[in-house]
Chains A and B, each alone.
Chain A
Amino acid sequence: QKEVEQNSGPLSVPEGAIASLNCTYSDRGSQSFFWYRQYSGKSPELIMSIYSNGDKEDGRFTAQLNKASQYVSLLIRDSQPSDSATYLCAVRRGNSGNTPLVFGKGTRLSVIA
Chain B
Amino acid sequence: KAGVTQTPRYLIKTRGQQVTLSCSPISGHRSVSWYQQTPGQGLQFLFEYFSETQRNKGNFPGRFSGRQFSNSRSEMNVSTLELGDSALYLCASSSDGGPDIQYFGAGTRLSVL
Interface residues, chain A, with chain B CB atoms under 8 Å away? 31-32, 34, 36, 42-46, 49, 51, 88, 92, 97-106
**What residue in chain A is nearest B39 (Cβ atoms)?**
A105
The 10 residue pairs across chains A and B that have the minimum distance between CB atoms:
A105-B42, A103-B43, A43-B104, A100-B45, A32-B99, A100-B56, A44-B104, A43-B107, A43-B106, A97-B99
Inside 8 A of B41's CB, which chain A residues have their CB? 105
Interfacial residues of chain B within 64-113, with CB under 8 A of chain A in the complex? 90, 96, 98-107
B107 surroundings in chain A (CB, below 8 A): 43
- Bound Cα distance from A19 to B101, whole angstroms: 24
Q: Please tell me if the beta carbons of B105 and A43 are within 8 angstroms of each other in the complex.
A: yes
Inter-chain CA distance A31–B86, complex, in Å, is 33
In the docked arrangement, what's the CA distance between A44 and B56, Å?
21
> Which of B98, B105, B106 contacts A97 (CB under 8 A)?
B98
Check if B55 is an interface residue, CB within 8 A of chain A. yes
Cβ-defined contact, A98 with B55, below 8 A: yes
For B58, list chain A residues within 8 Å (CB): 100
CA distance A98 to B90 in the complex (A): 18
Structural contact, B50 and A98, CB atoms closer than 8 A: yes
Bound Cα distance A97, B44 (Å): 18
A residues within 8 A CB of B35? 103
In the assembled complex, the Cα of A83 lies from the Cα of B92 at a distance in Å of 23
Whole-angstrom distance between the alpha carbons of A104 and B104 in the complex? 16
- Quick check: A106 and B106 within 8 Å, CB to CB? no
Q: Does B24 contact A (CB under 8 A)?
A: no
A43 to B42, CA, bound (A): 12
19 sampled A-B residue pairs with Cβ under 8 A: A34-B101, A36-B104, A42-B106, A43-B90, A44-B90, A45-B104, A46-B101, A46-B102, A46-B103, A49-B99, A88-B42, A92-B99, A97-B96, A98-B56, A100-B58, A103-B42, A103-B43, A104-B42, A106-B42
Q: Are A49 and B43 in contact (CB under 8 A)?
A: no
Told that A43-B106, A88-B42, A104-B42 touch, could you supply 4 new A-B pairs with CB distance under 8 A? A51-B99, A88-B43, A103-B42, A105-B41
Distance, CA A43 to CA B44, complexed state (A):
14
